[in-house]
Amino acid sequence: MKENKLFKNLLQLPVLRNRFLKNNIYLLLASFLLFSISVFTSQSQNAQAELNKFSAGLQQNIYNAEAGFNSFVSNKPLIATLLSGMPNDNSVGSLVSEQQYYFIYKNTEGFNRLIFWSTQKVLPDSAVINSPAEKGFVQLSNGGYFFQKKLSGDQNFIALLPVKWNYIVTNNYLKNDFAISPETSRNFGISTANNGISIYAKNKTFLFSLQ
């Protein structure tokens, strides 16, 4: 008798299971939906936190570049050495080791002649050289740069800080990453429209947005 009852109960298991699923289908779906929303929200919050942290570091990098450029153009002994045509290794080496690149142009009868440059990776284009703005963001041949410039007599001082590389050909050594923290910034984008986390120069000039 007990064996028959046990056998009968086993036969009823699929029926009970189907009845349970039928009666609780909406509860199960709601639980799955809430779990999915929780995972998505957590991932979104983590991504936003990473973007906020990266943008703060990049903004500080811009400020540091501005301080470096101001120090460069106000260093009269250094400028005199660079313009002499015989700069020493110490003066050039200190500039080459910096993250941003320095250039000095001399205006001779309307022609801007390059007198000094601290890198061979890039050159300012005519838009930067002739720009009335002293600070801004520009896309050059190999990426986006924060540029600064200052006119002093017939001399045009320019600094370029690489922000995000944009190589035509990429490989293991040339990657289209941000110049700072490339490993942590690969999921971020950059826009010249003011529609994300905005990056500014110290004079409140809008440069670009992070997305």
* pLDDT, one tens digit for every residue, the chain (211 residues): 545 554 455 455 566 556 665 667 766 666 666 666 654 555 455 667 888 999 999 999 999 999 999 999 999 999 999 988 777 777 788 788 789 999 999 988 778 899 999 999 999 999 999 999 999 999 999 999 999 999 998 999 999 999 999 998 889 888 889 988 776 667 788 999 998 899 999 999 999 999 8
Phi, psi of 162 (to 5 degrees): -65, 130
- 3-state secondary structure string, 38-107? HHHHHHHHHHHHHHHHHHHHHHHHHHHHHHHHHHHHHCHHHHHHHHCCCCCHHHHHHHHCCCCEEEEEEE
Q: What is the dihedral of CA 128, 109, 77, 147, to 10 degrees?
A: 0
**Amino acid, single-letter form, for residue 85:** G
Element holding 129 (H helix, E strand):
helix 126-129
Task: Report how far residue 171's alpha carbon sits from residue 15's, in angstroms, rounded to the nearest whole number.
Answer: 61
**Amino acid, single-letter form, for residue 96:** V
pLDDT on residue 97:
79
Phi, psi of 106 (to 5 degrees): -120, 125
- The predicted model scores a pTM of 0.76
Task: Report how far residue 76's alpha carbon sits from residue 100's, in angstroms, rounded to the nearest whole number.
Answer: 19
Q: Residue 175 carries which DSSP code?
A: -
pLDDT on residue 90:
73
